[in-house]
């Protein structure tokens, strides 16, 4: 089934064509430079930019896949979880296209998209598996029983992992987004230079928390305390605490649920130290870890199209009354 995916939940305008698990095209117009000077995504600016870009990215996705709209057999759009204004733009465009070409449309939860990015990257990954989605807007651990069958095991109680990277980078004057620059700088630093707290240690629930860790870095290095301290050591120690928290909570859940396969996805899943520690710890604990390919880690429409193909195939089709649900729950079929 040839599915057109549309994703506009945050600051990337994306359209993609996916057919039978193959990504034929995946066009992403990023607004990251626009938001950089504000140190984070400004929802109103993001929505306006989606309006400008949506027509162009859909055309590009069709061109790049050498397909025409009349060949599209279904439309999938992120309708749940994200910024309301940006979501509205994608849903309106998707409904117009589905109506004009009389094809089924389905609304996708943004996290379900990230879960499918893992499956697109690793088609051999078996069920059940655990999927850790770590990005700028979310940190969620899901038990994936099968396609479109989920149980949310844990999520962040405050900031998302990527948000913590972004806020610490902003605090240290390293720019936005913070993850890539901290990842690079941390390679030259001493990971054990500072002993930052590991959040929610000793708790059985695989939930996550980053705001206490962030505050502890800020309190320690605000004002004069920072002078003379090597920046690389600060970010390496901070990153180590984040990675340790993410890996230990995920493996705790894998052990509780007796799941051998772990998928790691979302923008933060690009992080080199996260990949290194997951690989080492999974080998030690006899788990198998699957990383999403970097081109599908960030927000993109191919993951939405893949989820849409599964949902439409299972009969989950929306009507023209499909609406956005910015805080919608991840639902099973
Ligand atoms: O998935 P994504 O593109 O958008 C959201 O859904 O939020 O993720 C963006 C987030 C940003 O917070 C960014 O700082 C983080 O992913 N990120 C990284 C790395 N690359 C991007 N975090 C840590 N290490 C990286 N290499
Ligand atoms: Zn995302």
pLDDT digits (tens, 9 = 90+) for 197-251: 899 988 889 999 999 999 999 999 987 667 778 999 999 999 999 999 999 999 9
- Report the alpha-carbon distance of residue 77 to residue 54 in Å, rounded: 12
Q: How confident is the model at residue 40 (pLDDT cuts 50, 70, 90)?
A: confident
More confident residue, 110 or 32: 110
Does the global pTM surpass 0.85?
yes
Around ligand 1, the residues with Cβ closer than 6 Å are 10, 135-137, 162, 165-166, 177-180, 183, 266-268, 270-271, 298-299
2-114+296-313 is classed in which CATH architecture? 2-Layer Sandwich (3.30)
Centre of ligand 1 from the C-alpha of residue 315, in Å:
33
> Hey, which bits of the chain come out as E strands?
2-7, 12-19, 22-30, 74-80, 105-109, 129-134, 139-146, 149-155, 261-265, 288-291
For range 153-176, the mean pLDDT: 94
The answer to whether domain 127-291 has CATH 3.30.420.40 is yes
Centre of ligand 2 from the C-alpha of residue 115, in Å:
10
Centre of ligand 2 from the C-alpha of residue 302, in Å:
12
Q: What is the pLDDT of residue 225?
A: 66
Q: What is the pLDDT of residue 252?
A: 97
Contact 72, 3 (CB under 8 A): yes
Centre of ligand 2 from the C-alpha of residue 185, in Å:
24
Pocket probe for ligand 1: among 36, 131, 179, 242, the residue whose CB has the most ligand atoms within 8 Å is 179
Contact 146, 310 (CB under 8 A): no
Contact 181, 169 (CB under 8 A): yes
- Report the alpha-carbon distance of residue 146 to residue 100 in Å, rounded: 33
Pocket probe for ligand 1: among 267, 271, 274, 302, the residue whose CB has the most ligand atoms within 8 Å is 267
- pLDDT of 289 > 80? The answer is yes
Task: List the domain boundaries for the chain.
Answer: 2-114+296-313, 127-291
Length of the chain, in residues: 333
Q: Do domains 2-114+296-313 and 127-291 have the same CATH topology?
A: yes
Q: What is the pLDDT of residue 222?
A: 86
- pLDDT of 271 > 80? The answer is yes
Helices 84-101 and 43-65, packing angle to 10 deg: 30
pLDDT digits (tens, 9 = 90+) for 46-71: 999 999 999 999 999 999 999 999 99
- Report the alpha-carbon distance of residue 139 to residue 155 in Å, rounded: 6
For range 283-306, the mean pLDDT: 97
The string of DSSP letters for 188-214 reads: TS-TTSS----TTTT-SS--B--HHHH
Centre of ligand 1 from the C-alpha of residue 321, in Å:
32
- Beta strand pairing call for 12-19 and 2-7: antiparallel
Contact 159, 167 (CB under 8 A): yes
Q: What is the pLDDT of residue 154?
A: 97
For residue 292, give the ligand nearest its CA.
1
Beta bridge partners of 143: 130, 151
Contact 55, 8 (CB under 8 A): no
Q: Minimum mean pLDDT among 31-35, 42-46, 110-114, 156-160: which range?
A: 31-35
């Amino acid at each position: 089934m040839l599915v057109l995916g549309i994703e506009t939940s945050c600051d990337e305008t994306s359209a993609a064509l996916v057919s039978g698990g193959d990504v034929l095209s995946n066009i992403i117009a990023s607004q990251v430079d626009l938001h950089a000077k504000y140190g984070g995504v400004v929802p109103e600016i993001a929505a306006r930019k989606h309006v400008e870009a949506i027509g162009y990215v859909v055309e590009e996705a069709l061109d790049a896949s050498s397909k025409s709209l009349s060949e599209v057999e279904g439309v999938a759009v992120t309708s749940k979880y994200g910024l309301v204004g940006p979501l509205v733009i994608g849903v309106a465009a998707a409904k117009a296209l589905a109506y004009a070409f009389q094809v089924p449309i389905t609304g996708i939860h943004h996290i379900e998209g990230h879960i499918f990015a893992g499956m697109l990257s690793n088609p051999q990954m078996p069920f059940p598996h655990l999927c850790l989605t770590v990005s700028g807007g979310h940190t969620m651990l899901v038990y994936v029983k099968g396609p479109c069958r989920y149980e949310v095991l844990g999520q962040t109680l405050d900031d998302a992992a990527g948000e913590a990277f972004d806020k610490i980078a902003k605090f240290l004057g390293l720019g936005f987004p913070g993850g890539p620059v901290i990842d690079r700088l941390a390679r030259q630093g001493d990971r054990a230079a500072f002993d930052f707290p590991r959040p929610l240690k000793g708790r059985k629930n695989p939930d996550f928390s980053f705001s206490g860790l962030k505050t502890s870095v800020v309190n320690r290095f605000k004002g004069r305390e920072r002078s003379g301290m090597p920046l690389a050591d600060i970010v390496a120690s901070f990153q180590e605490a984040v990675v340790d928290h993410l890996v230990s909570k995920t493996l705790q859940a894998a052990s509780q649920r007796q799941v051998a396969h772990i998928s790691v996805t979302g923008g933060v899943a690009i992080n080199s130290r996260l990949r290194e520690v997951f690989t080492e710890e999974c080998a030690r604990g006899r788990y198998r870890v699957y990383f999403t390919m970097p081109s599908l880690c960030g927000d993109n429409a191919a993951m939405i199209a893949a989820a849409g193909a599964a949902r439409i195939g299972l009969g989950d089709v929306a009507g023209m009354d499909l609406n956005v649900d910015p805080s919608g729950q991840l639902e099973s079929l």
